[in-house]
Amino acid sequence: MICRYLRHIDLVAVYQGLDSYNFGHGTPSLANIHHAVSETLAYLLEQRAAAAIEFLYDGGVTWHEFSPQDVAAEVSDLIERDIEELADWCDIPPPVSEGLQDAEWFEQFQVFTAVAVDKGPADYFELQALLICLHDCACWLYDRKDIEGLMTVLARIEEAASGFAYVTAQNTAPSRQARVAANKRHEPTNDARKQALKEWEDSGALYSSKRAFARHNHKKYGVMQVTVERWITRHQKKGVL
């Protein structure tokens, strides 16, 4: 999967078909999204694409001007960032979809979403990312015909949607203004990330692994060990701070 926290949705296929998706007119399912949630997810993913491109280019362009592959990549990065910020706020590991058996992942996912919803309203974009992940899980469960699991996730979607509606009501233009507010809220974490990655570049070779570095240093950055490990992993992948 292109996004570490999505288990089912094909984001590239979504952005290949979203321009022709006809909201409210019984259009067939978008990409591999189940028809029962395609309308909701089409809207969420359209908003997420707009936010991702606006965040990168500070207005002046729209996501429609980019290739589906590029939009999917930027949306993936933004979902990952928001889910990881939410995980840090909730002090719980994020629900990584890679390398886990289905039952193990679903248990981890349920714990994460329960804690995230019960914690109370996060910011607009974190809740939007959480809703996308919940709907992704619902699509996965629809595909597996797991009715019991699906009922649990749909109930969690309803709870998360209530929080999202509340946050949205506080900001009638939850686009650039909301992203700026989110960035300001996360400035301490962003500063800690930059400090951690600089120290990793400067002294990481002194440690046996990134896990050892994270275990030794995470408390001074004010985050969990797993968060520092994620920062380093993404830094290594992208090659930038």
Cα dihedral 113, 119, 121, 122 sign: negative
Domain co-membership, 92 together with 165: yes
21 domain-assigned: yes
- Sequence-distant (6+) residues with CB within 8 A of 82 are 125, 126, 128, 129, 130, 182
pTM beyond 0.95 = no
Query: Which residues lie closer than 8 Å to 241 by C-beta, 6 or more apart?
Result: 194, 197, 198, 235
Q: CA–CA separation, 196 vs 228, rounded Å? A: 7
Q: How confident is the model at residue 236 (pLDDT cuts 50, 70, 90)?
A: confident
CB 80 within 8 A of CB 5: yes
User: Is 3 part of any domain?
Assistant: no
- Domain assignment present for residue 2? The answer is no
Residue 167 belongs to domain spanning: 11-184
My answer on whether 114 and 148 are in the same domain is yes
Q: If you write DSSP's letter for every residue of 117-149 in order, what string do you get? A: HHT----HHHHHHHHHHHHHHHHHHHHHT-HHH
Same domain, 45 and 119: yes
pLDDT digits (tens, 9 = 90+) for 79-132: 988 898 888 888 888 888 777 789 999 999 999 999 998 886 667 888 899 999
Is 6 domain-assigned? Answer: no
- Number of domains, the chain: 2
